[in-house]
Amino acid sequence: MKSPSTLIALTALCQSASTLAFAPTSTGERASKTRCEASRRDFLSTAVATAGIAASSATLLTPLPGAAKGLGEGGLPDGAAQFSRVIKVKAQLKSVAKRVAEQPDDITKEEWDKIDDFLRTVYSAGNDMKVISKGIFDPSKKEKADEDIKLLQKVVQAAQKPVAQKDVKGFSAIASKADGLFDDFLDQLRDVPDEL
């Protein structure tokens, strides 16, 4: 939606352009003007018109602050941003666990190092889960969610040993346990009764 000031500026520009375009001029009047005066006036009118167009287009093209930020750049409010990160980490954990389980011989030392770094991301997802759990009002669900968070972070710490030893079975078991803890935590966020 265009702002009123933009519409006023555009209307003024259109009116002045249409007035000058259809105004009658006499040849005598034109001959009496010096070339210098005409070019000065043309320059000033062009400069004013250009400044008006630039100001109105800058107003129209400037994005809103919330729309300018992307998902990972703080574009979501607290709670929603953390929830989004938790969901992403959960999906990435499944993907990493699948890769390790299906192609264990193809995993290089660099990939194991990246998996170790990824475990830190999974651990920090526990901090995001703590923020999300503040919105749980049922005391029993909140307590269960807090237990899931603590256990997830302990499981992730335990996963560093199989990753350091390049133990595929150990990592797969721990990744499966962590995925289950993510699911348990997300179940605590449901407000809809099971009877529905």
Q: What mean pLDDT is reported for the chain? A: 78
User: How many C-beta atoms surround the C-beta of residue 88 within 10 A?
Assistant: 14
Q: Which of 3, 65, 16 is nearest to 73 (CA)?
A: 65
Helix axes 109-133, 139-164, angle to 10 degrees: 170
Domain ends where: 39, 62, 85?
Answer: 62
Same domain for 56 and 95, yes or no, is no
Whether 43 and 80 map to the same domain: the answer is: no
pLDDT digits (tens, 9 = 90+) for 158-180: 999 999 999 999 999 999 999 99
**Is residue 53 domain-shared with residue 80, that is, in the same domain?**
no
- Whether 136 is covered by a domain: the verdict is yes
Is a pLDDT exceeding 60 seen at residue 57? no
Q: Compute the distance between CA of residue 107 and CA of residue 138 in angstroms, rounded to an integer.
A: 44
Spatial neighbors of 128 by CB under 8 A, at least 6 apart, are 82, 83, 85, 86
In a domain, 196, yes or no: no
Between 117 and 23, the more confident residue is 117
Domain span at residue 150? 71-188
Tokens at residue 50, please? 């250009």
Instruction: Give the domain CATH number at 149.
Output: 1.20.120.290
pLDDT classification of 130: cutoffs 50, 70, 90: very high
Into how many domains does the chain fold? Answer: 2
Same domain, 27 and 101: no
- Evaluate whether residue 195 is within a structural domain: no
- pLDDT score, position 77: 79
| CB-CB contact of 181 with 129 (8 Å) | no
Average pLDDT over residues 54-70: 55
Per-residue pLDDT band for 80 (boundaries 50, 70, 90) equals confident
